[in-house]
Amino acid sequence: MANWNPWHGCHKYSPGCRHCYVYRSDAAHGKDSSVVAKTSSFGLPLAKNRAGEYKIPSGERVWTCFTSDFFVEDADQWRPEAWAMMKERSDLNFLFITKRIHRFYECIPEDWDAGYPNVHICCTVENQACADQRLPFFKELPIAQKSIICEPILEHIDLSAYLGPWAKEVVAGGESGPSARICRYEWITDLQRQCREAGVSFWFKQTGAMFEKDGKLYRIPRRHQHIQAQKSGLNYTP
Ligand code: SF4
């Protein structure tokens, strides 16, 4: 597993962005997250060590652009080169998450065709309005691997009209940080039920910092959020 952040910084775009972790962590260092800039690791996929081997070994999943949005407008000038590196490293699996799926056709390279087989695109839908706006479009796009991200989940979401074999997985999670909004247990169990009915994998990734179950609100420390979600036993593979 490798991380590749070709550019850093973003602009808040939809309700899930309110407590964006990029803004939170940059604020701690006095950095302005609204300035989008290429990073020093822009060329990482093709970087080699002294032995002439790729620094990212073949077969790795590469978590891509987690300190920005891969489709953010400011990165239009750099994205073609990023795509070219992803194409050249067809032995890696690049995964990125976007809230700007509406920009898909403005952002793909000319030779995209049915989608680069080694690129996994995840569309975030943090509430019902985002789901209804983004998923009908996302569902039809030529992308080899697609997943849906309900994180931070902000309310009960009904995905049943959209789910099907086209979606590789649904991932759900609460919000972290000191101002986190509540995540309700029943939102998660109902998403899991929808996934079971549609035969789509489901991953309850993390509880978030404010988790409500059976009318009780729990403040969950960061280090326990993933473990508690895993302990719930809600993950599902068809
Ligand atoms: S799109 Fe993602 S990176 Fe950009 S502001 Fe929103 S949460 Fe942060």
Measure the N-to-C terminal CA separation of the chain; round to a whole number of Å: 24
CA of 13 to the centre of ligand 1 (A): 7
Close Cβ partners of 7 (under 8 Å, ≥ 6 residues apart): 36, 37, 38, 39, 42, 65, 67, 68, 72, 74, 75, 78
> Does 64 contact ligand 1 (Cβ within 6 A)?
no
- CA 44 – ligand 1 centroid, Å: 22
Whole-number pLDDT of residue 72: 98
Per-residue pLDDT of the chain (238 residues), as tens digits, is 999 999 999 999 999 999 999 999 999 999 999 999 999 999 999 999 999 999 999 999 999 999 999 999 999 999 999 999 999 999 999 999 999 999 999 999 999 999 999 999 999 999 999 999 999 999 999 999 999 999 999 999 999 999 999 999 999 999 999 999 999 999 999 999 999 999 999 999 999 999 999 999 999 999 999 999 999 999 999 9
Ligand 1 in reach of 99 Cβ (< 6 A):
yes
Distance 110 CA to ligand 1 centre (A): 26
Q: How far is CA 108 from the centre of its chain?
A: 18
Q: Are 136 and 102 in contact (CB under 8 A)?
A: no
Pick from 194, 118, 126, 128: which is nearest to 163 by CA? 194
**Which pair of structure tokens corresponds to residue 172?**
């759900």
68 lines ligand 1 (CB under 6 A): yes
